[in-house]
Structure 1
């Protein structure tokens, strides 16, 4: 059963976030352009709420990799692991505007989701190696990483240029609203992928939770592989490679 995700990629309350932004000095226009490679695959695992189009499981098969322009900077290379996501948690009222689809900048949202999840687990005392790639990333860096990832998508023409959305999104994830989410403690446990959903991913793509390249990113509980009674194979809706 899905544990309710927080929608890290686009902090709750887009409009409010814009109005009270100013928690960080991140300016999207001044950010460098990162580099994205690999594949993005998500499977539906539950109903959505007022933002996003449902709750999904990001499955790193093959892995999605992001390199910052300065690979020596905090979070210089990020490879997300198996995790819950709802894309960009953009309220329905804002989704009518160009560039503000919950999945419009999906690869960038996955990178930012992973930074938030890793941060919460690190704060809660996790020493797992899968989180080492983002140790040292502070709140301002997390917003910058999302902006750099969006620029990567635009730079490679995966998405069309937009004069408003990228800057608005970067501002929102650097706002006071997002900072409050960042500062939460005790969230790591609720973000762990359930054995049932790990099994569903394995049923959809055999080997996706056990391949060597994935084991470097996340650890699969032994009780979760290969199946859980009653789990049906998920249907692949779409896969994006770039």
Structure 2
């Protein structure tokens, strides 16, 4: 998601009304894994959202939604990218609104592949979504997390985050070209994830990656069946 310092500076530029965002439905499991040190010199490392047997899914109640159901695929995610100094404030934990960050990140991953004419069928579903709606989705997920008592209410953070992801830096990333292949999870990181997770039933040993680095689970949130 957007770097925290940037969205603080640009929050006032957003036009999302958090109070009007409808509550949707979250189901499935959030599984985030650490695969190594950060490559940009910022944050706590490199993280991957990993779809499980019951992947995260967000069903929207917004009647004007161009995409009613959002189900992220495997991708890199940086959570809220919040510096340590800012994490002392309520609502600004880098993973406090993890499902919202992951759903929002997925829309951008998919959009970049649409921009590069390299989208798979799931990514192509984002093609008709205008930029402003991506920020609305973030607001809807945060509001759903609060409405279902998954996270505590907050008077400031939800509106600030929703407004920030509607700002010009986010828009430039939404329209970015040449990023689809660059943002794809590498085969080395996929192998690290596969070494960390149980083999699926019936899997042959030859299908499993050999010895090497193992990814670490950093967060699991289960919303139950759809």
Q: TM-score range by the shorter chain?
A: 0.7 to 0.9
1:24-35 equivalence runs, <5 A: 24-35=14-25
TM-score by length of 1: 0.81
**Aligned partners of 1:156 and 1:38: how far apart in 2?**
14
1:4-153 equivalence runs, <5 A: 9=1, 11-12=2-3, 14-21=4-11, 23-48=13-38, 52-61=43-52, 62-70=54-62, 73-153=65-145
**Aligned partners of 1:130 and 1:140: how far apart in 2?**
20
Return closer, same or farther for 1:196/1:71 CA change in 2, 3 Å cut-off: farther
Counterpart check, 1:241 vs 2:222? yes
CA contact (8 A) 1:22 1:176 kept: no
Residue number in structure 2 paired with 1:3: none
State which of 156, 164, 172 in structure 2 corresponds to 1:164: 156
- 1:183-226 Cα offsets, whole Å, 9 max, x none, are 22111111111111111222222457xx9xxxxxxxxxxxxx94
Return closer, same or farther for 1:234/1:91 CA change in 2, 3 Å cut-off: closer
- 1:51-71 Cα offsets, whole Å, 9 max, x none, are 543211111102000011137
* Structure 2: gaps spanning 5 or more residues: none
**Aligned partners of 1:88 and 1:21: how far apart in 2?**
14
CA contact (8 A) 2:79 2:102 kept: yes
CA contact (8 A) 2:18 2:158 kept: yes
* Structure 1: gaps spanning 5 or more residues: 1-8, 212-224
Residue number in structure 2 paired with 1:232: 213
CA contact (8 A) 2:34 2:217 kept: no
Return closer, same or farther for 1:234/1:38 CA change in 2, 3 Å cut-off: same
Q: Compute the displacement of 1:133 (Å).
A: 3.3
RMSD (CA atoms): 2.3
Report SS of the residue matched to 1:134.
coil
**Aligned partners of 2:102 and 2:219: how far apart in 1?**
16
Return closer, same or farther for 1:176/1:38 CA change in 2, 3 Å cut-off: same
Return closer, same or farther for 1:182/1:92 CA change in 2, 3 Å cut-off: farther
Q: How many residues of Structure 1 are paired with residues of Structure 2 in the alignment?
A: 217
TM-score by length of 2: 0.86
